[in-house]
Structure 1
């Protein structure tokens, strides 16, 4: 007599598809949808403008070197000393795109520890 092969149970793929579908519906309902821009609005075209950091900002290059108003500094605290009370209220940072996030967080924490009330990261924003 030959032994009968045991039937292997299939994974319940229908249940998985149902769960994914329900998650999709949930995120569509729960997510916020941005309002479209007014069709009569004409956005400014800035392709020909040269980007420049604000004069009172701490510029951080990809290698971690820092400068204020074109002069190199070696510590974030020197940035606050260079600008005085102006930077204590709001410290602006202009990081390079390739700067590691850990280094950016480290510099932000150093500025807060040195007395800056707010630390703002200046970035570019594109609407295409």
Structure 2
């Protein structure tokens, strides 16, 4: 008597290793994205709905609420900062300026005019998009 052999089923693909890889990549990119230095971490940028939010303040001239200018956590004059960043103005990209949200407009205008008088021609004011 011949018995019918049971049909061999192929086991389903194990997706757990794929899920593990996806979660490891997620953790890696979350960690790698948070390492970037941000010189303007102690100030509140003005809220604005213009320009590109991807512009970072790394290497920017920071203007605090009192109108003092800083670069990499040290107070610096506009002329000294511009001289140190002369290559950026020559064509490698715009000079970045980040102003505190509580900075009065007349003090911002004073710093920007000092930058202009010192020879800065290509500048970007770093702002933040509003939540609206």
Q: TM-score, normalised to structure 1's length?
A: 0.53
Render the CA deviation track for 1:79-116: whole Å, top value 9, x for unaligned. 11222221455221100011110110111111111111
**Structure 2: tracts of 5 or more residues without a match:** 1-33, 41-56
Greater relative contact order, per chain length (Cα 8 Å cut-off, separation 6+): 2
Structure-2 separation of matches of 1:56 and 1:94: 10
**Structure 1: tracts of 5 or more residues without a match:** 1-48
Q: CA RMSD in A?
A: 2.3
Look up the match of 1:31. Answer: none
**Runs in 1 of length 4+ with deviation above 6 angstroms?**
none
Q: TM-score, normalised to structure 2's length?
A: 0.52
Matches within 5 A, 1:104-123: 104-123=108-127
Look up the match of 1:95. Answer: 99
Render the CA deviation track for 1:65-91: whole Å, top value 9, x for unaligned. 211122211x21111122222145522
Q: Which of 58, 63, 83 lines up with 1:60 in the alignment? A: 63
Q: Which of 62, 80, 83 lines up with 2:85 in the alignment? A: 83
Given that residues 88 and 116 in structure 1 are in contact (C-alpha distance below 8 angstroms), is that contact kept between their aligned partners in structure 2?
no
Structure-2 separation of matches of 1:111 and 1:56: 15
Given that residues 85 and 95 in structure 2 are in contact (C-alpha distance below 8 angstroms), is that contact kept between their aligned partners in structure 1?
no
Size of the alignment, in residue pairs? 79
